[in-house]
């Protein structure tokens, strides 16, 4: 696929293997790579930032599966700059003794007003901790991970972006193989139609073409800002083993 202006006045493509040109990629492939890449990048960055800032969500999974109960004594209440649903998040610092008799310190952010009142009065509070890593703990009913399962939203964006970018990469590799090793043939332009894409305010046009090989007539598409007229001929590259994999030269 190409964003150049196909025309029969240009020389026939050289013999394979040819040097691959990125401009031979069509607008569709570039859209998949760009759009998917942006989603993948943004989703990954947000997921990493949320995990580093608020703790990984698997901490809660661990505590749900094997957490042991203990009583903790609040030792400090610290304000934070975070808000959830317009409510300020306050960090409660507490100490507890694990099953081995070792004193541990933990911290949990909360917006629970009743829990904060109890912490201010230094009431004993129930906690859950990991017996295999007692430094991991949380106040009962709260989360060890600040963002909890909300972190799955940016992670889902990253996964969708990876799938879209992966599809674009597969097309890129197929186009590259066809462009580098394909056989050249003249194809007839059978249709020209506008697409929904624009480049520098100019409408990208879809160019349909067809060419004949030993197994019959094969069709293909490319895109162009300056498309040839219907009935004109353009050079096309195709793989004899799979003529449906073709690209405008």
Question: What's the CATH number where 128 sits?
Answer: 2.40.50
Are 230 and 200 part of one and the same domain?
yes
Q: 49: Cβ–Cβ under 8 A, 6 or more apart, which residues?
A: none
How far is the C-alpha of 68 from the C-alpha of 65, rounded, in Å?
9
Are 135 and 165 part of one and the same domain?
no
Are 167 and 215 part of one and the same domain?
no
Confidence of residue 52 (pLDDT cuts 50, 70, 90): confident
How far is the C-alpha of 116 from the C-alpha of 171, rounded, in Å?
56
| Pairing assessment for the beta strands 133-139 and 202-213 based on DSSP bridges | unpaired
**Is the model's pLDDT at 41 over the cut of 90?**
yes
Place of tokens 């949320």: 50
For the segment 41-65, the average pLDDT, to the nearest whole number, is 88
Judge whether 86 and 59 are in contact, CB under 8 Å.
Answer: no
Helix (H, G, I), strand (E, B) or coil at 31: helix
Are 4 and 29 part of one and the same domain?
no
The pLDDT value recorded for residue 101 is 94
- More confident of the two residues 97 and 151: 97
Are 240 and 205 part of one and the same domain?
yes
Are 196 and 164 part of one and the same domain?
no
Are 208 and 153 part of one and the same domain?
no
Task: Give the torsion sign (CA, 23, 24, 26, 32).
Answer: negative
Q: In the listed set 128, 154, 181, which residue is the last one of a domain according to the structure?
A: 181
How far is the C-alpha of 90 from the C-alpha of 113, rounded, in Å?
10
**Is the model's pLDDT at 234 over the cut of 70?**
yes
As given in the structure block, the two tokens for residue 144 are 């060890």
Are 70 and 135 part of one and the same domain?
yes
Rank 26-35, 86-95, 185-194, 221-230 by mean pLDDT and report only the highest.
185-194
pTM: 0.64
Indicate the number of domains in the chain.
3
Q: In the listed set 130, 165, 181, which residue is the last one of a domain according to the structure?
A: 181
How far is the C-alpha of 186 from the C-alpha of 233, rounded, in Å?
6
Total Cβ atoms within 10 A of residue 76? 12
The pLDDT value recorded for residue 152 is 84
Nearest in space to 162 (alpha carbons), one of 50, 245, 154: 154
Which contiguous run of DSSP H or E holds residue 189?
Answer: strand 183-199
Are 131 and 89 part of one and the same domain?
yes
Enclosing domain of residue 136: 66-142
Task: Give the torsion sign (CA, 67, 70, 71, 77).
Answer: negative
Are 74 and 131 part of one and the same domain?
yes
The pLDDT value recorded for residue 10 is 62
Model pLDDT for residues 114-145, shown as the tens digit of each residue:
999 999 999 999 999 999 999 999 999 888 88
Nearest in space to 214 (alpha carbons), one of 175, 191, 247, 183: 183
Are 177 and 154 part of one and the same domain?
yes
Are 235 and 221 part of one and the same domain?
yes
């Amino acid at each position: 696929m190409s964003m150049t202006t196909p025309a029969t006045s240009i020389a026939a493509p050289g013999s394979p293997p040819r040097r691959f040109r990125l401009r031979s990629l069509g607008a569709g492939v570039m859209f998949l790579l760009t759009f998917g890449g942006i989603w993948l990048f943004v989703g990954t960055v947000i997921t990493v930032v949320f995990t580093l800032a608020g703790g990984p969500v698997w901490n809660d999974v661990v505590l749900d599966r094997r957490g042991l109960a203990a009583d903790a004594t609040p030792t400090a209440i610290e304000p934070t700059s975070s808000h959830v649903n317009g409510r300020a998040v306050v960090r409660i610092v507490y100490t507890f003794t694990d099953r081995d008799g070792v004193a541990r310190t933990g911290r949990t952010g909360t917006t629970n007003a009743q829990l904060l009142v109890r912490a201010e009065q230094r009431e004993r509070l129930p906690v859950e901790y990991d017996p295999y890593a007692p430094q991991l703990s949380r106040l009962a009913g709260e989360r060890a991970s600040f963002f909890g399962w909300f972190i799955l939203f940016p992670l889902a964006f990253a996964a969708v972006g990876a799938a879209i970018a992966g599809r674009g990469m597969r097309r890129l590799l197929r186009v590259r193989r066809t462009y580098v090793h394909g056989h050249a043939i003249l194809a007839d332009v059978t249709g020209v139609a506008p697409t929904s894409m624009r480049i520098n305010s100019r409408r990208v046009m879809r160019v349909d073409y067809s060419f004949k090989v030993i197994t019959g007539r094969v069709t293909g598409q490319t895109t162009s800002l300056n498309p040839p007229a219907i009935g004109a001929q353009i050079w096309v590259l195709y793989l004899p083993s799979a003529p449906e994999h073709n690209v405008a030269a």
